[in-house]
Every structure is written in C-alpha cells, then in structure tokens.
Structure 1
Amino acid sequence: MSSRQPDPRDALICGAVRTPVGRHGGTLAGVRPDDLLALAIAELVRRTGVPVDRVEDVVMGCTNQAGEDNRNVARMASLLAGLPVEVAGQTVNRLCGSGLQSVVSAGHAIRCGEGDVFIAGGVESMSRAPWVTLKPGSPFPRKAPVSADTTVGWRFTNPHMPAEWTVSLGETAEVVADRHGITREEQDAFAAESQRRAARAAGEGLFDAEIVPVEVPRPRGGPETVSRDEHPRPEVTVEGLARLRPAFRVDGTVTAGSSSGINDGAAAILVASREAARALGLKPLARLGAAAVAGVDPSCMGLGPVPAVRKALARANLTIGDVDLVELNEAFAAQAIACIRELGL
C-alpha cells in the first residue's frame, strides 16, 4: 500500500447526522420527507458550525420521487432548513445507492474545483409513497387506469424488457440464493444475527450521537419525540424465522424475516475540501478515497457491490485485507451472504 501526500482538493467528510429509522406506518409516517430531510440538514449545520454561505450545493439521494419528495427534494429541504436561497440543490437517483452517490458526486465536484463545501445525504419516506396512475390515452376511457404502488420495486416497466429483468426485488434474492447455493437455514441464521447485533449496538448507545430526534405531532397532547430506530427486532430468533413462509416463491427460501424493511428516514453529511476544512475549522472524520459503480444482470441485482468494490479497491491501490471496517447493505440475507463470500469478507 503506497503512501500519499495530503491534497488541498481531497474530499473530506466533516460531519454526519441522521434521523431515527422508522418502520413502515410507524411514528415517522406522519412526517413529510422534505421535513425529515430539512431537520437533518439544519442539525448538521448546527453541529458542525459550517457557514451556510460557504455551501456550494445540497446533493441528496432519493429513490422514490413520486410524491411529496418529487421535483428536487434536496432543494425543497434546504430551503425549509433555512439555507440561503443562493445555495443550490440537486437530487440524484441510483436507487439503493442514491445516498452513496450524493457523497461521491460531492467529492467529484470538490476534486474538479467546482466548489469546496457540500451537504450530501438522502431521504426516503416509504410510508408516504403514493399510488400513481398513468394518464389515459384518450378522454373518457372505458378501461380502468393503469396504477402502481410506488413504495418499492419497478413500476410501469417497458414491455420490451426481458421478463427476467423486471421481476420483484425478492425474486432477485431467490435467484441469488439459487445460484450461490445459499440455504434457508443460512439466511435465517444471518438475519437473526443481524437483528441481534443491531439491537445490541442500539442498547449500547452506539448510534445515539448520530441521531437527530424527531418531534412528531399527536392528535392529543404534546408531540412525541422519536430518538430510537424502530426497525430492529431484538426478539427475533432462528426458530421463529424458521416458521415463516416464503414470501416470493411457493418453494422459495427468502422470507419477510430475511428481507430488509420498508422504512422512513433521512441523513445529512458535510463534505468539504481539505483546504476549506482547515480554513473553517471543521473536524474531518474521513477522506473519500475512491469510488466505483458497476452493473450486473438485473435478475441478480444484489450482487452489484461485488464488482463495484473490486473496482474501488483497485483505484485506491488497496486489497480487501487492508480494510478494517466494511459497511455492506443487507437488502436480503441471501444477497448479503453472497457478497460476503465473493468479496472474501
């Protein structure tokens, strides 16, 4: 691993906050996504003390963008957070990687000299995702309109796409499990351990410093303050998971218990050049070293991190053995297990 000299155009992460992650239909379901994101942005500014007039752009990831998060939620949230109207905003969409892409995009701009201070992050309110309907092709149609629930997955897919590319996310997890020989028992064990670790971390207060409490209005009395993630289920056991039916195939191995949740939440991250961080007295947490994107067959989309990580490691002149801490999304237990095996984690 070669040493490198600090560069004034290095992109540094200088602060990060997030709201609690709410369950679908949980306590955060009554909060608009732009309000959730505005809360995170405002708290990030308060904690870091960054001068708001130095912020070049607010770059936010958002997957849905079909309801209250439509039409550039990054800009709406930055205005709601009290940032000057001169601070621009853009919303990026790389589906599950949208929030990561916002940080990468900010880093690209910094390295290109197109700004020194950015606020990145993302927001999603799956509870408030609307049903949408296509406009009819003619007035006074006699057929029922074509509608879709925008909460998760494909909608209004192009009929020219191969059918195996437009299956549900859960079906792609079944494909991954089949191709990699991942059993139901392995998935249940992984899911139970994931829940146990999440509950333990929360119990030890490991997330407390990064969470921004959210005040949620109630029909009666004062607002309810939400400061803990709602999704972890510490009561989950392997035995309990084994009793669940397959969720996507009659003879499948993927269940609701080994699948990721449908959640609500927002996060904001301060990204600044090394030069600006020094001048503004910001405290760097990390440097954005390298990033990469990669496509895979859509029928097994969950394997995307494998080639992307390999490309990023090569660009950083690192091996997986050089990395002490890895954060890997757990869309499905089958998907996570496959990525862990392929990457040698």
Structure 2
Amino acid sequence: MAAQAENSGEISLLSEDLLALILKKVTDQDDRKSCSEVPNLLQFKASQLTTDSDLEFIAQQCPKIEDVKITDFSSHERGFLGRKGLSALANGCPKLSKVSLVGDKIGNAAVVELVNSAHSLTSLELGHSLIGDTSLRAIASSSSIKILKLKSCCNITDRGLGCLATGSTSKTLIKLVLKRCAKITDDGVKLLSKMRRLEQLSLCCCRGEVTDIGGLAISAIRNLKELKLHDLVGVSDLAIAALAFCRNLELLDIKGCVGVTGAGIRAFSSHQGLKRLVLLGLRNFDLSDVESLALGCPSLESESVVVDQSWRLDPTWSDELMHDNTRRVLKFL
C-alpha cells in the first residue's frame, strides 16, 4: 500500500505499531522534520491489501487528506472495505473531496457510509460489479457531488439513474460517466434529460438497449458541452441530427457508433460551437461529408475531426482533393 503526497513523491504506509518503532529510531533532526510532514498529506493512492484497519490508520495519521484513490483487486480473504473503514476516512478527513474506489473489495454498504459521512465530497469514482442501485440512491441525496464516474458497475439499472435524475444530484452533477454499465437502457437515459446542469456525459460501451430514443432524450440537455457515445450500435443519424441542436455542444465522440453515416455528420455543418468530433470506427461516410463539416462549422479546432488512419489509403481522400480548411481540421489516427 502506498500514499503519495502532493509534490513529495511516494512513501510506504506500514502498520501503526511498526511505524512507531521505526520513528523512535529516527534521531536526526532533519529526518524527524521530514517524518512530521506525513500528517500534511493531501493525496493518498493505494493498491492491493487495503482493509478497514488501513483506512482507519490513514484517517488518524493524515487528517488533511483531500484526494483518495484505491485500486484493489486482491483476494477478499485478505480484507474487504466496509462501513467501518470508509466512515473513519470520511470523519477523520473533513476536507475529503475526491474519492476513487475501484476493485473487488468495495460494495454498496461502504459507498452509502462514505456518501453519508463525507460532507465535502465533490468527485466520486466507483468501479466494480458489486456497486448497484443502493449506492446510487445514497449518492442521489448528496448536495455536494459534482462529478460521478461509474465504470463496470453492471448492477446499476435504470432505476438507479432515476434516483440521480430526481434527487439532489439533479441540481449538482456537472459530469456523469457511465462506462460498461450493461443494464442501462433508453428508459434510464431518458431520465437524464432532467439533469439541467449536466455539461459532460459519457455512455461508453453501455451495451444494453441504448438507441436513438436515448439519444433524442439527451439532446434535451441544453447545457451539454461534451458527449461520448462509444460503441452504441443502436444510435444512428436520427439521434445525431437531434444533437446538432445542442448549441453548447463542443465535443462529440461517436467512436464505434456504426449506425451513423455521412448524413449525421453533415447535420453539424451549420453548428457554431463544435470544437471536436471523433469518428473512429465509422465507415459509412466520405470526404465530402467531412468537407461540408469543415467549411460550415467555423469553431472546429486544428486536427479536431478524428478519423481512422485507413482513410489515407482511399484515393478520394488525397490532400490534393481537400480544401485547406479540411486539411486543417482532419486528424488520422
């Protein structure tokens, strides 16, 4: 297990008794001063063998911690993160604002305790199949969380999204990431349209029944600035054309949305705010579609329209046939 202080490299956190024995043997005054900086840690990162006892010790020794990241896929037999550890961390570190818990050792009970106890929490990342709607119900009651990332949480359903969309988070969430959450469908995505403050939304690899119906609902989120829809094969030109009416949209990533064609790309030709468009994995469009976009959308940044490297092999995509502005915005990857 390792903790990392801001701008001070990595140190090892040993058991409390062992650490005390070591510190007793430190006689040099400069070394003692260095050791005294441990309670001033602002960031803590750990991997493997993390238990409730570890978190209790951290909370006791490092009360100023603001940012915690735990990634632990070790065996359950070596410990599990529950209410006791997360409660100690939240109560012992009153400025705790950013937490990332990813791995096989975190469940709903611990998340509920964390959210209820960490009153300064603004950013939360969770990643494991044990996380479900129970966690989302607790998160939905938070009036401080602005960023929520849920990755590989395959037990989260539309009901959980409904809690987020109708709870206190509907007024606070600015960024929501849903990645590889397989049980999410159009019914849940439609509810997200109630989250009027939402600026960044990611629905990557959510291979449930997310189609144009969900895409049309997303287009009603007028504050939306960034949208990622990786590998949503049920999304087509119909949803993309609706998203073109989101005038605040600056980034659209539709990598792997194979149902999108040139018609959907052209829908953004008159958009005045789009800065970046990712078209990786799409095949049903041509250079003329990109040309229309490049000439009609003045806000596009340099190398901002990202396409597959394989298009360079197509003779119709030669530099000689491209408008100067098209060459400026295109990026082959």
TM-score interval for Structure 1 and Structure 2 normalised by the shorter chain? under 0.3
- Larger radius of gyration between Structure 1 and Structure 2: 2
Bigger relative contact order (CA 8 A; separation at least 6) = 1
TM-score by length of 1: 0.21
TM-score by length of 2: 0.22
